[in-house]
A and B are shown apart, each in its own frame.
Chain A
């Protein structure tokens, strides 16, 4: 029996955002959360877990790569590289 696929997001500590770490199979959300705890946080990787059914994720298509991403390629002025980061600000 192939069980539904779940995408797993872990927050490694307070103040950071959840980051995608991988996926797993589970029959339902409750079990997916527990499986994620066992598979992805057994070495103290996290303080919070989200699981999302993989089928609920809408992904961009590799075929649309050019029109999606290329136009941003030559617009360096969109990077905040022209500012001085104030001293003592670590996580900007």
Chain B
């Protein structure tokens, strides 16, 4: 049998006693495109971080061309001909393509000055070999995102990389750019480079990959040859058989005979196109879709962060003009952003200060804030949402992720919004807190609010939603009542666009 270029054997890794990878095997042949798949938290990125030296495995071996290697940092990964292709963040936008590719490795002239001509000549040859249609002296920031990636790949190859890791490489690309990237990947393959391809997009994987390895819950499930398997099998392997009990869906009654509480008509905003949406009071609508399908952007534009090009937004039948978040808040909207540490909380402030921030104007006593009332309200909220903190004066950053998220929820609860929008509400939250957060969201809907949830975790989305809409390329592709969806696979199919 042919010797694999890369073998990872019995890799295990735990963080704080929680096993993230459990005896995972993974091997890549020379000249193949190998997909690494699995749901969120399956362990794909941890495995790749071990391969690139960001983390060290607790146990297990890495073999390159049959020889065991030690990879303790990214430089050592590069020395072993492994390169990670970052999306767009590892280039200097203000320098040229050639300057970027040879940064810190420039050839010097006899008197120690940079030999830019040599650098550009080498780059030109490299780009020509790869068939990339850009010039060495193009400034990177003037190029499209697709070319950034190719510049990155060219840089990796100039460093003698033989194994390239690409993580969701098409998420920020247009269709044409994706096609160009794929023909480029095929060229690399023909030249004997190996590519580890991480993506959630099945159609792409079946188009470009030779084999698929699937992980689930930190365990190795299977490796299949693309031509011998099909979508059904792959989805089954990814989802697994057991269904999380904590996330069971309960059919909840809500008023369907009253006018909708929230309506969006013909909304266009940047890449988000032609969105029509109505939500009844008490209804939870889930938004499913792949990365880059426009889910987050939809919430951002509804909340006035991204500019709305055209369309109407109605709350309780009244049309609302939303130009900035203040308008959205006044209209009764609330957004719980994906990155709570950056956008949802003032981490340095106390639990109490965070809780009362959106309702300061309601807590006034004359000119000043009514401190007694503020304390009371805070204590009430802490109790109501079961936020685990010693007292309300503790800094928010000292709390766990789940409790931080509960503060963010409580913050908006205090403001009593009409429409609650949540973007990945349980990301980075432990399982216990997850269940609690799901309960809180349900309780909010029970009180007659409209709830709009974006989540990549399908079990969670299925547990919460009364109705699921599927987004693709910025518009709504499909709409399903929750009771029509029998299994997670069905939703997976819809998301993949089949």
Do A and B interact?
no
Q: Which residues from chain A sit less than 8 Å from chain B, CB to CB?
A: none
